[in-house]
Amino acid sequence: MKNVRFDLVMHWLYAIIWALLAISGFAMIGAKFGWILNFNFTMADTVHRFSASAFVLITFIAVIHEIIRKIKKDNRPQPWNIIGRSGYQLFNFIITLLLILSGVLIWICMEFNEKAVAFALLIHENISYLSLISIIWHIFKKTHILIWPKNKVKQDIK
Amino acid sequence: MFDKKKLNFWRLTVIFLSFTVITLISLYLSPQEKKASMMTESMANMASIHLENITIYDLVGSSDSENNSQASGTTAQTANTSQHHEDKNSAVQTMGIITTIIIFALLPLLICGAIILAIVWIK
């Protein structure tokens, strides 16, 4: 347990929550993707709201972790980190913030300003498509990591 | 040539494609009535209030001007959505309150953290 990396755990927690948000979110767009959850919009709504809070929480933890690293002047690379100052980590951080902000706008304005909701929905939906495309690209680029390190395991056993 | 390092990606692709095809086939074989009724529930209504020919002025304008806008037809649908949320059972309501508190409590801190990180990273 001592060797479990914080950034690795955060990465996969984020991936699971992102997948739940994507499945429930795309299912709510309407008839074109409603089939993903058998047109059960009520369940999709519930799952999306619950996952959204976990998404905000995990992003907040990642931000705090990064700030603490900066305060401690810890410059060791954390390749699994979900946010960072360059590359895909920075892209993901910006996309995450935009998704959270537009999602919150939908949440707040639902009851009294449907025009703002419509605007936020447009942003939220299109950024979701961009995020989905980038995730597929990310999986393609990093897929070699999924190859189990057999040689390393053998060495560890010896 | 086929890159062996990317084999896992194509395996994942095949798995997800299989899930998609199975879901579509099972939906095709199941009755349609229930799904049609669900289109009027929950967030489904939001699909029909998507942005159309709206200006920035409309977004920041007061709610009094809503009747004159092109999106006025959506008011009744939003009311249905609100009614649906009121009808949820207590467990779902409790979960809704907790998730709302988490999001709205953390959002200002998250924005502050992002600003701090932006300053630190740029330096």
3-state SS, residue A111:
coil
pTM summary value: 0.74
Chain A residues with CB under 8 Å of B104 CB are 104
Q: Name chain A contacts of B75, Cβ cutoff 8 Å.
A: 114
Shortest distance between the Cα of A126 and any Cα of chain B, in A, equals: 12
Pick the residue of A21, A28, A47, A53 with the most B CBs within 10 A to test the interface with B by mutation: A53
Residue B92: what pLDDT?
81
Residues 6+ apart with CB under 8 A from A22: A128, A131, A132
Query: CA A34, CA B30: separation in Å to the nearest integer?
Result: 14
In chain A, domain spans:
6-145
- Whether B100 shows a pLDDT value over 70: the answer reads yes
CA–CA gap between residue B6 and residue A137 (Å, rounded):
12
Contacts of A144 in chain B (CB under 8 A): 5-6, 8
Look at residue A25 and tell me whether its pLDDT is greater than 70. Answer: yes
Residue B116 contacts A, CB cutoff 8 Å: yes
Task: Check: CB of residue B89 under 8 Å from CB of residue A43.
Answer: no
pLDDT of residue B56: 58
**Dist. CA B20–CA A143, nearest whole Å:** 21
Q: What is the pLDDT of residues B51-70, one digit of tens each?
A: 555 655 665 555 555 455 44
Look-up of token digits 């992102």: A18
- Cα B81 from Cα B90, distance rounded (Å): 17
Report ipTM (2 d.p.). 0.83
Which strand (E) or helix (H) includes residue A151? Answer: helix A150-157
Tokens describing residue A131: 């995020």
CATH class assigned to A6-145? mainly alpha
Mean pLDDT of chain A: 87
Is the distance from CB of A52 to CB of A20 less than 8 angstroms?
no
